[in-house]
Amino acid sequence: MDCLKWDDWLLLLAAIAGTTVIALTVAAGVVNPNGNYTTQIFDPNYIETPQDIFYLKINLVTAVVYYTINAAVKLSILYMYYRIFHAKSALRYQLFITASLVIGWWIGTTVAQIVNCIPISRYWTSNILDPRHCFNLNTFFVIAGSIEVFLDVLILTLPIRAVLALHLSWRRKGIISGIFLLGSFVIATGLVRVIMGYAPGSQRPSSSAELWTVIHSGVGVICASLPTFNPILQRTLKSSVVTNTIHFFSGSSASKEVVLRRERSHVTIPLNTMTDAAHSTRESIEQSPQAPEPTYDRWGLKAGRVGLQEQNVY
């Protein structure tokens, strides 16, 4: 446990909270399979059933926890940047400012989501969300989601300048920058969540907002974990299976010949399946002087052929 840092603990918190949200969403769906459509009923004469009330309560809880999940993911990424680039004072100040923005966004959205109706019970007992007691949750959803997308873009672009200033080859810089920019999937899911969740003329977000909220949270946790996959990826690419496969399908006939020779060297022919003519042929081959097995360099070319060419030239 000593090797775990704050970014690891924050990401673990986000993963546990995300799993809890999924479990609660599934439980609410089991109790009320049509609960997602209950949020889209705007009939003032509609009377909520106990199953509807249970679903709407779970909907409020998961909406509140959602902002905690994504704030934890963002702070985890920022602390990881701090551990990697803490020596660069300019970036350090940028990280502090961005972390302050994330914490402010988290506090503001969490409080607003909890008190969006006064009293709070209006959230699950008034399906039309009376403007006298509740603010427009649909508008709040779009504003909070748009600010979150802005924060995601800001966080993903922070380390690029620091990476380019490192004393590494351009190939290594490109690989490191690419690992960080893989988090752009979070931006994509965040945009889709805002677009698909907005319901024009409604007090509540659309029915698809719940689905994209869960997807967006899961993608955020995965993308925040991507930098830790680099050692696993490097070991996989250096394995013999991957190397032989790449050589075999690279289009080089010499490389394919090397792989095929290695495979044929392990193939044996049972003696009882050979005819007398084959036995005599085999014995004559074994008694005749054998030509030296050609050697191959790392490009798959025959080293002996190059030597003969050199002898002919000189």
What confidence category does residue 142 fall into, taking pLDDT thresholds of 50, 70 and 90?
very high
Indicate if the pLDDT at residue 212 is higher than 80.
Answer: yes
> Rounded to whole angstroms, how far apart are CA atoms 21 and 94?
32
Indicate if the pLDDT at residue 133 is higher than 70.
Answer: yes
Indicate if the pLDDT at residue 274 is higher than 60.
Answer: no
> What is the reported pLDDT for 38?
72
What confidence category does residue 33 fall into, taking pLDDT thresholds of 50, 70 and 90?
confident
> Rounded to whole angstroms, how far apart are CA atoms 38 and 45?
13
Indicate if the pLDDT at residue 185 is higher than 80.
Answer: yes
Indicate if the pLDDT at residue 162 is higher than 70.
Answer: yes
Burial per residue of 4-13, b for 16 or more beta-carbon CB atoms within 10 angstroms, e otherwise: eeebbebbeb
From 110-119, 139-148, 291-300, the region with the lowest mean pLDDT: 291-300
> Rounded to whole angstroms, how far apart are CA atoms 197 and 212?
8
**Model pTM?**
0.67
> Rounded to whole angstroms, how far apart are CA atoms 126 and 204?
12
The mean pLDDT value of the chain amounts to 75
What confidence category does residue 300 fall into, taking pLDDT thresholds of 50, 70 and 90?
very low
